[in-house]
Amino acid sequence: MVSAGSHPKPLHPSTARVLRNYGIELAGRAPRHLSVYERQRFDYVITLCDRVREVCPEFPGPAEQVHWSIPDPAAPGGTDEDTYPAFERMAAELETRIGFLLAAIGAAPVQASIQEV
């Protein structure tokens, strides 16, 4: 599993905090641009933002495109403490959707891991 963005920016502190609760540590990982992976083959490419969906490159091979329109938890602004609940909701939403996707494709549930960010 890899993660990238169309306009990568520094990791929001609430992202790291929420992911630690899921056993995922991002220390030492830098945000990456989509172009880093444009020659890599994937089974699934999941976009979470409508803007990224529009600019997501075509990846080689038969990658299935999946789009989940999930609001940016940092969009309302405020302090890290103010936005933290929105990050928790987003993580729970992603966990649910990933579970449904894995069930739909017949994959066994896996321990969450991030190889690249």
What are the pLDDT digits (tens) for 57-80? 888 888 888 889 888 888 877 777
Q: In the chain, what percentage of residues exceed pLDDT 70? A: 91
Q: Average the pLDDT over 35-59 and give the result.
A: 85
Q: Average the pLDDT over 3-11 and give the result.
A: 85
Instruction: Report the alpha-carbon distance of residue 80 to residue 67 in Å, rounded.
Output: 27
Cβ atoms of 110 and 1 within 8 Å: the answer is: no
Q: Which CATH number fits domain 13-105: 3.30.450.40, 3.40.50.2300, 3.30.930.10, 2.60.98.20?
A: 3.40.50.2300
Local structure of residue 27 (DSSP, 8 states)? T
How far the first Cα of the chain sits from its last, in Å, is: 9
Q: Average the pLDDT over 39-66 and give the result.
A: 85
Give me the helices (H) in the chain, please.
13-21, 50-55, 80-105
